[in-house]
Amino acid sequence: MSSSDPCVEVQDVHKSFRRGSELLDVLNGLNLVVQQGEFVSLMGPSGSGKTTLLNLIAGLDRPTSGSIRVQGEEISRMSEGQLAGWRTRSLGFIFQFYHLLPVLSAFRNVELPLLLLPLSASQRKQQVTTALEIVGLKDRMWHRPGQLSGGQQQRVGIARAIVTDPALIVADEPTGDLDAKSADEILNLLVELKESLNKTIVMVTHDPRAADRADRLVHLEKGRLASQTVQEVGQV
């Protein structure tokens, strides 16, 4: 696929959920294109559909109708097995609450996605070490989550998200559980991933300061794209 092709294409996507006898429309004919190497923030009030959209882009859920393509692959038509393989190869997910296994070291937590790939132990070691070095935690690789600060745990989460070298990173409130200083450091790291490694990042956030670090701010309201703002790259 050409580097000029979009990374994410969301076309006329509808998503409905059933609550008892009631059908709730969460996304209503939404369209969104994210370019390769672009950092996009999704914002909107509670119930606007931003987290639903993120989960659809990540292949964690399926649209009721419409099409979602990532790197030219139509993930909305994949089987569960195909989706699982695609997520392992092509997607990195950063969570608000880290989702690290407390009994495992930082190294072993980051290594987990690689266990699903046909790699040797030495290849896994090299990729894990590189990912931890990128996030500045090579010297803490054998520490367990309980021995790390919140900001350091989120860095481990980011290392785990990038260890398979995915084209797309999706982040759900990645600074929501951090103090202001740690949040700023995490946002700096995300910008660095975009600029140095050309990662495409789609981030849901409620924090305007976090959203301001993206290239483009997308506002959702009632399941529709309400507005888009192209921002000065890396502005604070």
Residue 234, pLDDT above cutoff 80: no
Residue 24, pLDDT above cutoff 80: yes
Give 20-25's long-range contacts (Cβ < 8 A, gap of 24+).
25/223
The predicted structure's pLDDT at residue 236: 41
The predicted structure's pLDDT at residue 5: 82
Greatest mean pLDDT among 9-13, 17-21, 46-50: 9-13
| Mean predicted confidence (pLDDT) in 35-39 | 93
Q: Is 21 exposed, middle or buried (0-12, 13-18, 19+ CB in 10 A)?
A: exposed
Of 205, 216, 235, 207, nearest in space to 54 by CA: 205
Host H or E run for residue 227: strand 224-230
The predicted structure's pLDDT at residue 37: 92
**Alpha-carbon span 46 to 82, nearest angstrom:** 31
**Alpha-carbon span 223 to 225, nearest angstrom:** 7
Residue 112, pLDDT above cutoff 90: yes
Helix (H, G, I), strand (E, B) or coil at 202: strand
132, two tokens? 């931890």
Domain boundaries, the chain: 37-48+80-230
Instruction: Place 235 in a pLDDT band, splitting at 50, 70 and 90.
Output: very low
| Mean predicted confidence (pLDDT) in 136-150 | 94
Of 88, 94, 81, 76, nearest in space to 204 by CA: 94
| Mean predicted confidence (pLDDT) in 208-219 | 91
Residue 233, pLDDT above cutoff 80: no
Contact 68, 74 (CB under 8 A): yes
Tens-place pLDDT, residues 52-108: 999 999 998 899 999 999 998 999 889 888 998 898 889 999 988 878 999 999 999
> What CATH number belongs to 37-48+80-230?
3.40.50.300
The predicted structure's pLDDT at residue 209: 87
The predicted structure's pLDDT at residue 111: 95
What is the average pLDDT value for the chain, to the nearest integer?
90
**Alpha-carbon span 81 to 85, nearest angstrom:** 6
Percent of the chain past pLDDT 70, that is, above it, reads 96
**Alpha-carbon span 128 to 125, nearest angstrom:** 5
Which residues have CB under 8 Å from 225's CB, separation 6+? 30, 31, 32, 218, 219
Instruction: Place 21 in a pLDDT band, splitting at 50, 70 and 90.
Output: confident
The predicted structure's pLDDT at residue 99: 86
The predicted structure's pLDDT at residue 4: 67
Residue 6, pLDDT above cutoff 70: yes
82, two tokens? 């195909």
Q: Distances in Å between the alpha carbon of 104 and those of 18, 112, 174, 189? A: 38, 10, 21, 24
**Alpha-carbon span 24 to 26, nearest angstrom:** 6
Torsion of CA 12, 56, 166, 108, to 10 degrees: 180
The predicted structure's pLDDT at residue 231: 72
| Mean predicted confidence (pLDDT) in 155-163 | 94
